[in-house]
Amino acid sequence: MSEAAAAAGGDGLRLLENIGVKLTVEVGRAELTIRDLLRLSEGSVIELDRLAGDPLDVLVNGTLIAKGEVVMVGERFGIRFGQIIDPEKRAESL
């Protein structure tokens, strides 16, 4: 690729830098019947499909981009990225 083409590609990416995306951190999933959903109350517990200590999924606009773990950042929760999904594999899931 020529330097001009590489520079143009970089400029194209800069145009996208300010577009907002939805970042989601998924702890796990569960499937319920509507009956069970309606019976939920304060203190109810739903078992998820993950073990305690398993890495969390980090999704951008519904596409898995990384695995990570919850950390504390001052008084807030944060996520530490442990594994970034290969961009080619991310593209396959689109």
Is residue 2 in some structural domain?
no
Q: In sequence order, what are the beta bridge partners of 26?
A: 57
- Decide if 22 contacts 60 (C-beta within 8 A): yes
Is residue 74 in some structural domain?
yes
pTM: 0.70
Buried b (16+ CB within 10 A) or exposed e, 4-35: eeeeeeeeeeeeeeeeeeeeeeeeeeeeeeee
The per-residue pLDDT for range 40-73, each reduced to its tens digit, is: 999 999 999 999 889 999 999 989 999 999 999 9
Q: How many domains does the chain have?
A: 1
Is residue 82 in some structural domain?
yes
Structural domain that includes position 36: 21-92
Question: Looking at residue 88, which CATH number applies to its domain?
Answer: 2.30.330.10
Say if residue 7's pLDDT is above 60: no
